[in-house]
Structures are given as C-alpha cells and as structure tokens.
Amino acid sequence: MSEPFAVVDVIIAKRDGHRILDEQLDWVIDAYTRGAIADEQMAALAMAIVWRGMEPTELARWTAAMIASGERLDLSGLDRPTADKHSTGGVGDKITLPLAPLVAAHGVAVPQLSGRGLGHTGGTLDKLESIPGWRAGVSNEDFLAQLRSVGAVVCAAGAGLAPADRKLYALRDVTGTVESIPLIASSIMSKKIAEGSSALVLDVKVGTGAFMKTVESARELAETMVGLGTAHGVRTVALLTDMSTPLGFTAGNALEVRESVEVLAGGGPFDVVELTLALAREMLAAAGKGDVDPADALRDGRAMDVWRAMIRAQGGEPDAALPIAREKHVLTAVASGVLSRVDAYAVGIAAWRLGAGRARQDDPVSFGAGVVLLAKPGDLVTAGQPLVELHAMSRSASSAPSRHSNPALSSAAS
C-alpha cells in the first residue's frame, strides 16, 4: 500500500520553519509507529523540531496523534474523582510514594503510571521494587480493580499506552534530540492524557539536579504542558519546585522508601513533607475536594493504611526488611563553617555510580545503594564532622574519592 505523503517533504517543511499540516502530523506518527518511516528519517524530523520548534496547535495535534497510536484508559466508571501527578525528575524525589496514598485517603483515585531511573535521576518503580515481592506490571483489569478497592496504583505503563512515544523516546535518546520543549512536553503529556485521569498536577523541577536548569525554561515547559492538558480536556496545573538540593536526606532506592514511610508515619524531612502536602492540596482541589487538609491523613494514619494496602495489592510486603548495603563509607568536613551547598546533580551522580542508578534502560540497579546526607545547607559543621554516607554493595564502589574529585562535597563548607 502506498503512503499518502513523502516523509522527506514533511522534514523539509519543518526544516524551513513551516507548520506541518494536520493530516501530515497524523500520518507521520502512525507511519513511524508501524515502521513505514525509517529511524533516520524520524531522527531528521526530530532535529528539525529541535531547531524550529512547534506552534501550539501543531504540538496539540502531534500529541493527539501520539495518544491515538495506542489505547486510552477509561476511568469514567470509577465511583470517585481521579487525579494524577507527574514530576519531571530529580534527586531524592520520592514524593510519589507518600503522595499517592495520601490523596487516595481522601477519596480521590490516583492512577500513577511511573518510570525507572536513568543517569542521575531516580525512578519511582526502582524504589518500589526494593520492597520484597512488589511488582510493577499490572494488567488493565487489575489496575481498575485496585483503584476501586485501594484508591491508588503506582505501576509501569502498559505496552499499549502511547507506543509512538516509547519508540520516539528511544530514538531521541541516541540522536541528540532530547532537548526540545515540544518533544519533552508531548512525550510526557501523551502518556498522562492516555492514562485517563480527569485532573493532573505537574511538578516541574528546576535547578542543577533537574532537566530544566533555569526558571525560564522550566516555566516554558510547564506552560506548554498545561496548554496540552487543557486542550485535551484534562484539568492541568503546574508547580515549579527547586531541585538544586536533593529532597530529604536520601538518594537511592530502599533508602528513599524508608524515608517515605517516615513521612507516612507523620514524621520525615520537612522539605519532603512540605512538597508532598503542597502537591496533595493541588490534586485534591483539582478533584473537587479543596476543602480538606491532607495533613490530617498523615497524622491519623489513614495515609499509612492506604500505603500498606497499595503495596500488598501489588504483591509486596510492607513490613518486610528492605535491602541494606554491605559497604558504607563516611565523608567528613575538611573545615569548620556553614554548609553552603549540597549539589543535587553531584549527589545524583554519586548515587548512580554507587549502583542505585543505571546508564541504560536495561541495566540492573542495587536496591541498597545510595547516598545519605548527614547535613543540609545552612547547617553549622565542624572539621571532621560526618557530612555524607555512601552506601554500596561492594567495597570498590563505596571507596571515597579525594575531596577535590568528589563533586558532592565541592564547595561544601564556607
């Protein structure tokens, strides 16, 4: 069967700064998904988009075509409103773990499709898989059943959800076409819209440990995603949050689960609690429950009850011992003073090299590996005081580099 368009014409049109026609946009996504457009041709089009950008209506149509490449979940049969959250990723960003059960404790269904970590950023599924028995794969039938019975699901996206994005994302990763706000926004929003939630809260990170390094670029991404969500009938709001310093005191899979459980038990680090509550309030308001205080469910144990039920529903044992690193190494302050900076990116790289992260999507991770911060910016420290604890599964991975070659401690004290 002959194709209705020539992909080279579409590439040239975008290369020269023209808007791609709606019919061409629909065809390009469909043809690439079914293999009628070669990777090198799609890579050329992606690079043209990196350089030329996309108009709002053009991007909305591109995103709609990506959604239409697969199934769209129907959550209208649930007996409660729905709300979802997406974070653009960071270091120590464990917020989904306490947030999903917290919002569900107030009668809002939370269908959270999450991903795995890559490079310096952690992945929600990797964190949860450190819990013995917990499984990320959930069928559509079990997904809906768990939303009805528990109120929250955190799991991997099924193969039928926005398959065009999965194929295009892998291509962008190896062709230098990741850094494009239209392509980033359509990648995120095609999956989130296909997920079927009626409301979405975006946590757009900005800072050294985030993909967006400046407030200006983060705001542009947030506004673009909010526009896409609204255009597709999803109530969408965005918060810009700081990712210059890691969230909480831990970066690493099992380490972050422990810290999340502390939050659900009514304790935990102030910054993690503060952001969890801020996002919960936005999700509840978007779901029509803006008159409740989510902090109550942390204090009275309701959020913890939902957490335990959510973990058990996916085969996990919430009371099981979590993996612990076999080797630990403490880094100390070389001088007395005030801790001025803990660089999120450097901590993320350290956790990754210790084994908590991966360089490629199919690499294994060490669930017990990671970094524990023993001090945060603004703290008074004395020479010799422990600042960072490195956790690894082998002695070689935990061996400390020199102070000058360790980015996590550069400019540590002043």
Annotated active-site positions, please? Answer: 86, 165, 172, 187, 191
**Token pair for residue 333?**
């302050």
Residue 37 — φ and ψ, nearest 5°?
-115, 130
What is the spatial distance between Cα 331 and Cα 406, in angstroms, rounded to a whole number?
10
Crossing angle (nearest 10°) for helices 253-264 and 96-104:
30
Question: Cβ distance 90 to 345 under 8 Å?
Answer: no
Contact at 8 Å (CB) between 339 and 376?
A: yes
CA distances from 333 to 155, 223, 388, 399 (A): 40, 41, 9, 17
Distance CA 153, CA 136 (A): 10
**Maximum separation of any 2 CA atoms in the chain, in Å:** 74
Residue 204 Cα distances to 45, 52, 240, 285, 334, angstroms:
26, 23, 5, 18, 35
Give the residue among 85, 146, 158, 156 at the shortest CA–CA distance from 312.
146
**What is the rounded CA–CA span in Å between residue 81 and residue 242?**
29
Take residue 147 and report the two structure tokens written for it.
């939303």
Spatial neighbors of 12 by CB under 8 A, at least 6 apart, are: none
Q: The tokens of 183 are what?
A: 């392509």
CA dihedral (402, 403, 409, 410) in degrees, to 10, reads -120
Contact 65, 26 (CB under 8 A): yes
Q: What is the DSSP letter of 405?
A: G
What the block records as the tokens of 106 is 């107030």
